[in-house]
Structure 1
């Protein structure tokens, strides 16, 4: 569908502050997102902090849920992560989201994040499709 990645972190907030997330549609039920690891993403051991990985997956997979639901606002109900490998400064990490099922009110998906060499994390989650307009969410919504 979309060959080019677009920056989705356009409003002030956590992900924009941390370098942003690039996103693209691959097909009706498959999406990709990516980010480059920099020094403020690291933990004391010098590898990417698990909290940043979780936030990145939440942002990328949440955007996929938003897109598959016709751009309705969506919120995370559950997100289960498995940390498999590590990444370091300069690594470009790519997330792939597969939409498993979409109902009128829920989106079920799985996600995998990889560096060029190996898998970093995998996740599965459920997002709630909200029946409100983004403007009803207040500032930043």
Structure 2
């Protein structure tokens, strides 16, 4: 397992359009991701938009679920987010994901976003592991 952050937003789409996501595996049950806030991520109050933080968690925690499920496709079932603090332009946001439980079909996890040494967002989520049917 490499401990270097790698850009995972390679295909055109929402996260690549929004600046991408750097991701790394820490252990079998722990993962980290990061992103830098730019002007497009701000709300009218000049702080990072909650929708962007939600998308960041969905992408980062979803990637953790995917990797913990032996790279099977995973989709979000639920995501419960608590906004605790704020961030602003040029801030680097770090996400930490802990896989709490994994079954044959579900991944349960907890995620925190940190900025400048403080927790700004926490979330718990459930992902469905998709089993791809092969034809004989």
Deviation at 1:116, TM superposition (A): 1.8
5+ residue gaps in structure 1?
A: 134-141
SS at match of 2:2: coil
1:114 equivalent in structure 2 = 114
Could you list the runs of 4 or more consecutive aligned residues of structure 1 that deviate by over 2 angstroms after TM superposition? none
**Rounded Cα–Cα distance in structure 2 between residues aligned with 1:75 and 1:63:** 10
Deviation at 1:117, TM superposition (A): 3.0
Count of aligned positions:
133
Deviation at 1:118, TM superposition (A): 1.1
SS at match of 1:20: coil
Matching of residue 69 in structure 1 with residue 69 in structure 2: yes
2:88 equivalent in structure 1 = 88
SS at match of 1:79: strand
5+ residue gaps in structure 2?
A: none
Matching of residue 48 in structure 1 with residue 63 in structure 2: no
Deviation at 1:96, TM superposition (A): 0.2
Q: TM-score w.r.t. structure 2 length?
A: 0.96
Matching of residue 37 in structure 1 with residue 37 in structure 2: yes
Q: TM-score w.r.t. structure 1 length?
A: 0.92
**Rounded Cα–Cα distance in structure 1 between residues aligned with 2:108 and 2:116:** 27
Matching of residue 124 in structure 1 with residue 127 in structure 2: no
**Rounded Cα–Cα distance in structure 1 between residues aligned with 2:13 and 2:34:** 18
